[in-house]
Every structure is written in C-alpha cells, then in structure tokens.
Amino acid sequence: MKKTCLLLLTSALIALPSLANAELYAGVGGGVLIPREETIKTTAQRQDVSLGKGWGALGAIGYKFDNGFRTELEFGFRDADIDHVASSAIDDGGERAYSAMVNGLYDFKTGTLFTPYLGAGLGVGKVNYDSVRTISGGQLDDNATGLAVQGIAGVSLAINESLSFFTQYQYQSILDLKTSTSNGLSAKSEYGTSLISAGLRWEFALPKPARQEQLTPIPLSPTAAAPAELPETKEVVAEPVEVIAAPAVEKYMVFFDFDRSDLTIEAADILKKVVDNAKAGKVTSIELTGHADRAGSDAYNIKLSERRANAVKKQLIRLGLPAAEIDTVAKGERPPLLVQTGDGVREPQNRRVEIVYGK
C-alpha cells in the first residue's frame, strides 16, 4: 500500500510541469479541526477514542486550466488532543497526522469575483499516536501510514488578477492504520477529520506568449494592367444567405493604473459588455492588444503590456468566451499611442488594452 501511494504521488509530480495551457498557483491556509470519534481494535478488545477540537494547516501547488479544472499537490498537517479512551477519564495523549494528496478540483465560473469549487483527493497519510493510555491495558506510542482520501468544497474571492482568498471544508480519512501497543498487542484503526480552513492563493500566469508584432514594411505590388476587353457578362442568380447581426460595437478599450496589470472595476464592466456583444453577434475571434506608456524601458513595457493583455484574456474566459478564440498582442510603448509623449512620460491614455472583434 505504501509503495502504491508513493508511486502515485511521484507520477503526479513528474506530470505536473508538462501540462500546457495552464496557470501555476500556490496556496496556504489553516483552520479548525473537528475529529470524528475513532475506534482502536486490538486482539484483546475494541475501544472508542474521543478527540477534542484541534487545528490544521495546508499548503498546495497546482495548475489551473482554462476549462475550470485544477489539479494540485497538497501537503497537510492536523493536530488534536484526546479527550478520553472508552469510559476512562484520562485525557492524556494526542494524534498528529501528516498527508500528501493529489487533488482534482473544478471551479464553477459565475462571472463574478466569487468562484465556488468542488474536489476530491487521493494520497498517503501518516498518523502519530502520542502517549495514548489505557489501550487494552497498555499505551499507544506508535505511528502508521495508510491510504488517504478526501472530499473538498469551498469558495474563493478574487482580490486582484493573481491573488484570491478562499475558505473551504475538507473531510479526510486515512485508512487501515496498523500499530502496536506498549504491551505487545497489535492495533488497527482509521483516522477521520473535518477541517474548516481559510487562506490565500497566488496565481503565476504561464500563458502562451503574446506575439510581438514586427514593424516590417510590406512591399507594394505593381498595379495590375486593365484588361483590353471586358469579359462577357453572365446572369447570376443570388441564393438566399443567413444574415448574422454584427456586434453593435467592434472595438473597446480598457485602461490600467500606472505599472499595474490588474483590472479596475470600470474595466470589468466593459469586459462584461464585450462578452455580451460577442455572444450576441456570434463573434468567433477576438484580438487583444496591450499597450504601455513611455515610463520605463521598452523591454519592461513589452512585458507589462503582455501581462495586461493576458489579464483581459483571463477575465473574458471567466465570463464564458473560449480561450482558443482569443489572441493577444504586446506592443509596449511602440506606436500607435493615443497621446504622443516624450520618453519617460507617464500618460494614462496609453496604458490600455484594445479589444477588436475578428472578421
């Protein structure tokens, strides 16, 4: 069992970096632990163990996909004191659990800052029993490792384009734990806890690099000579075609604060209109062009305008547009600028992303 769990975790770690079209994220959290009553079975008897409330901490690294799915590797620690064993009044002892889990989760896109999610996990857990007394006349000071499973339900709140707050509920069970008491008896048990936690999650975008336009001249082809004679005119019968209404507006702009790529409230409202009009007009492609003002180096501003374009793309995807239909371009401080300025000058009108519907 231990070898199987370790192989599962190792395979997941190897596979994670090779996943494409995703964003890397990391999260930390902690909260209140509510253990369930545990049963310890020895060759002599079966005893119920009651535990008090404790605490738990979590850390995770993972990948977030455009389609709402996430996969992550989560490390957990849980600690609780024992109230009593069977009818004994002795409350000595405690349990500490360590876990490494591979989780699969799904984020339900709502078009708002709130994102509910559900998930499940599989991995390996280790439980340390510390000075648990009166177990079949002996004491339990041992540890055991077993298969761990868990279910997850939570909701996250976006603070900005890369940081979100989350709160979640997890129920975890570690199965088939085998230990020994101080008087030589074999013991079996299962560990189960509920953890209500809160924390922060950081996203590190790994998008497809925005293409950087090459400003190369396009040679003009010579004007074709007019034909000596006009071709014979033929009667053409027009066939009925389906008419699709075009979007009311074909170009939008959203603006950014100085040296920032997170969306403002005004920008979020505009992007909602972009999505509504794109769906109504059956638009099949959208181009996002990121710009920056002339404060900072050209190389830095290229990267900044790329982050701005990708921030807009992320929001459009959250609102329901397919990622494959959205293209990004990074222009930095290169023309065309809305306002012409000297080098090093901050200009709010030039800190923008232009959104154009494809034809």
* pLDDT of amino acid 254: 92
Could you report the per-residue pLDDT of 302-353, keeping only the tens digit for each? 888 888 999 999 999 989 888 888 999 888 887 766 778 877 778 888 889 9
Could you report the per-residue pLDDT of 31-73, keeping only the tens digit for each? 999 988 888 888 778 878 878 889 999 999 999 887 789 999 9
Across the range 140-146, mean pLDDT stands at 90
* pLDDT of amino acid 181: 83
Asked if the peptide bond before residue 322 counts as cis, ω within 30 degrees of 0, the response is no
Main-chain dihedrals φ then ψ at residue 334, nearest 5 degrees: -75, 155
Distance, in Å, from the CA atom of 46 to the CA atom of 188, rounded to the nearest integer, reads 9
Structure-block tokens of residue 2: 């231990």
Distances (CA, A) of 87 to 5, 33, 34: 36, 23, 21
Q: Taking the CA atoms of the chain, what radius of gyration do you get in angstroms?
A: 30
Distance, in Å, from the CA atom of 86 to the CA atom of 40, rounded to the nearest integer, reads 10
Distance, in Å, from the CA atom of 204 to the CA atom of 202, rounded to the nearest integer, reads 7
Could you report the per-residue pLDDT of 224-247, keeping only the tens digit for each? 344 444 445 455 454 554 444 555
Mean per-residue pLDDT over the chain, rounded: 80
| Most confident by average pLDDT, 21-25, 209-213, 253-257, 345-349 | 253-257
Looking at 2.40.160.20, 1.10.510.10, 3.40.470.10, 3.40.50.720, the CATH number of the domain 2-204 comes to 2.40.160.20
User: Domains of the chain: which residue ranges?
Assistant: 2-204, 251-357
Distances (CA, A) of 213 to 171, 312, 329: 51, 19, 7
Across the range 262-284, mean pLDDT stands at 86
DSSP readout, 263-324?
Answer: PPHHHHHHHHHHHHHHHHTT---EEEEEE--SSS-HHHHHHHHHHHHHHHHHHHHHTT--GG
Q: Of 2-6, 99-103, 162-166, which range is least confident?
A: 2-6
Query: What's the pTM value of the predicted model, to 2 decimals?
Result: 0.57
Going by C-alpha positions, the residue among 32, 56, 201, 194 that lies closest to residue 117 is: 201
- In sequence order, the 6+-apart residues with CB closer than 8 A to the CB of 302 are 212, 292, 330, 331, 332
Looking at 3.40.50.960, 3.40.50.1240, 3.40.190.10, 3.30.1330.60, the CATH number of the domain 251-357 comes to 3.30.1330.60
